[in-house]
Structure 1
Amino acid sequence: METANPKLGRQDWVQAALETLMEKGIEAVKVDVLAKSLKITRGSFYWHFKNLDDLLAAIIQEWQAVNTEDTIKQVEKLDGTPSQQLLHLLEIAAKDDNRLEKAMRIWAIHDARVMASIKRVDRQRLDYLQHLFLQIGFSQTDAELRAQVTYSVKLGWVVMAPPRKPSERLTEIRFIYKILILTSFDEF
């Protein structure tokens, strides 16, 4: 009977699946393909997962945890003003290559479970952005609008932004930050 490679854990399979998802799409996330990329037999997969659906659920959870929950925790650890926290969050977003975000959203087109997760994550991200704008001192309406504009920039990068150097993205996001912080909607 085959036992799992002690050096290969559940997270290794999830990471291999995430890489495959980003490079080739969800259709390529198959046990045989992943086993080959990990240079291990498929029996190891069943040591860590009940079936492929179990792995797919783990991919969704990993995306949500790393790309949203861990990011929020990282921003909250910053001992600074809400304005500094917002800038830090935007800088994190600017450094993301968006490959996983794009792959998840493409997958969601054909998978209701993924779409439901994306809706939850979108709401969580918007709520957090709104929270930061409220903490900065903007009204409820201003905070909501600013959160929507900020998140639209992030999603715009996913679907249309040409590849840029990280330094160019950081310059761009810092400019957007200044606009969002300094402009009052009451002036319009």
Structure 2
Amino acid sequence: MAKGRVTKDDWTMAALRALARGGLSAVAVDVLARELAVSRGSFYWHFENREALLVAALEAWERHATAEVITTVREEGDPWTRARTLFAVALGTEEIAGLEPALVAHTAHPAVAEVVARVTRTRLDFLAEIFGGLGFGPQESRHRALAGYAAYLGWLELRRTAADTAPEALPESPGAQAALDHLIGMILTPPPAPQGAPRYF
């Protein structure tokens, strides 16, 4: 990338890639400058210090991986289509592989903890909204939101730590789509109601 053409977004994305590769310690200005083929001066044109870069990177992740996804899913008119679209997008190909598990692993840092907590609340609330749209009651929607989010985090962790053992978790695996469809079906399908008990639909 040529000097003078590197934007603030280029720096934030480079920071997120570094974080996914090596954690917070990998977000080093000199290393990122070499990756972007620019001098440190480019960094200080956009950011006051490394902490400002980290905050901007976290906010970019929040925007791209949560706010924009929610906006896209809400454009779907049918509740079932919204639900399936959400899980297909969330569990599909990651923009930066390994980023979310890396963020969760670094919540001891106050800036990371704040954004991860905010993203988690937003996602759980939206998941509960999705399940509510499918006809589940408030408590059941909340419980399914928790289960769905746990499945999401676990799926990403399988990709990162057990790709050889669970290759279906990798988007490019031949069995990935069938495994993903099965997982989504399990999350979205209501349990059988006991005899005489009211059903959710």
TM-score, normalised to structure 2, is 0.83
Q: Which AA in structure 2 matches 1:180?
A: I
* Matched residue count: 183
Q: 2-side partners of 1:14 and 1:106: how far apart?
A: 19
2:81 aligns to what? 84
1:21 aligns to what? 19
**Offset of residue 14 of structure 1:** 0.9
1:175 aligns to what? 182
1:75 aligns to what? 73
Q: 1-side partners of 2:70 and 2:102: how far apart?
A: 21
1:95 aligns to what? 92
Counterpart of 1:144 in 2: which secondary structure?
helix
Deviation string 1:50-95 (CA, Å, 9 cap, x unpaired) is 11111010111011111111111111122x3111111011101121
Q: Which has the higher relative contact order, 1 or 2, with Cα contacts under 8 A spaced 6 or more apart?
A: 1
Contact 1:94–1:169 (CA under 8 A) maintained in structure 2: no
Q: 2-side partners of 1:138 and 1:17: how far apart?
A: 40
2:114 aligns to what? 116
Counterpart of 1:95 in 2: which secondary structure?
coil
TM-score, normalised to structure 1, is 0.88
Q: Which AA in structure 1 matches 2:182?
A: F
Q: 2-side partners of 1:174 and 1:70: how far apart?
A: 23
Contact 1:94–1:170 (CA under 8 A) maintained in structure 2: no
Counterpart of 2:39 in 1: which secondary structure?
coil
Could you tell me which runs of 5 or more consecutive residues in structure 2 were left unpaired when the two chains were aligned. Answer: none
Contact 1:76–1:85 (CA under 8 A) maintained in structure 2: yes
Q: Which AA in structure 2 matches 1:106?
A: A
Q: Which AA in structure 2 matches 1:168?
A: G
Report which of the two has the higher share of helix. 1
Deviation string 1:152-178 (CA, Å, 9 cap, x unpaired) is 101112334533342534322322332
Contact 1:83–1:136 (CA under 8 A) maintained in structure 2: yes
- Bigger mean CA offset, 45-54 vs 97-106: 97-106
Q: 1-side partners of 2:60 and 2:116: how far apart?
A: 13
Q: Percent identity?
A: 31
**Offset of residue 146 of structure 1:** 1.1
